[in-house]
Amino acid sequence: MWVVPTIPPALYLMLSGILFTIGVIGALTRRNAIVVFISIELMLNAVNLTFITLSRSLQSIDGVIFAFFVMAVAAAEAAVGLAIFVMLYRSKETINVDEVNLLKW
């Protein structure tokens, strides 16, 4: 019989920290709005991983429930966000964040 080696929660937390950092860097440096949005989703999923890890190590159900709420909200956000991208593309023919510069001081 297999014995699955238990991975300590600290490693999961480190993984989610790395994922979150990748998301932040991606959101700040990428130029295509879709990629920026994917990076933001990566941040949200890193948060979900944190919640689930903590929920398991604390033996409390709250974190898992929060993760579900985050997923639902992320889905709603994606629906609205992609619609906004389409609207912008119709009027400007681009969703490159550098070229969205009509408004500036």
Partner 1 sequence: MKIPEIDLYLIAPEIIITAFGFLVLLVDVFAPKGEKKGYLGFLGLIGVVIAFFYTIPLMGSGKTGFEGMITSDGFAVFFKITILIIAFLTLLISMGYAAREGIGFGEYYALILFATLGMMLMAAGTHLIVIFLGLETMSISIYILAGMLREDRRSAEAAFKYFLLGAFATGFLLYGIAFLYGATGSLYLKDIAAHIAAKKLFDHPMLLMSLTFLTIGFGFKIASVPFHMWTPDVYEGAPTSVTAFMATGVKAAGFSALIRVFFTALPGFRPDWTSIMWLIAVVTMTVGNIIAISQSNIKRMLAYSSIAHAGYILVAFVAGNQLGTSGILFYLMAYAFMNLGAFTCVILFGKKGEENTLVADYAGVGFKYPLLAASMTIFLLSMAGIPPLGGFMAKLYIFSAAVEAKFYWLAIFGVLNSAISVYYYLRVTVLMYFRESEREITGLQFSPAPVIALILALIGTFYMGIFPSNVLTFAQKSIAGLM
C-beta of 15 vs 85, nearer to partner 1 = 85
Cα–Cα distance between 92 and 105 in angstroms, integer? Answer: 20
- Least Cβ distance, residue 20 to partner 1 (angstroms): 6
C-alpha dihedral, 44 to 35 to 32 to 101, nearest 10°: -10
- Three-state SS for 3? coil
Binding mask 1-30 for partner 1 (x = CB under 8 A): ------------x------x--xx--x---
Cα distances (Å, whole numbers) of residue 59 to 62, 65, 93? 9, 13, 50
Q: Judged by CB under 8 A, which of 7, 18, 32, 92 binds partner 1?
A: 92
Binding mask 24-63 for partner 1 (x = CB under 8 A): x--x-----x--xx--x--xx-xx--xx--x---x-x-xx
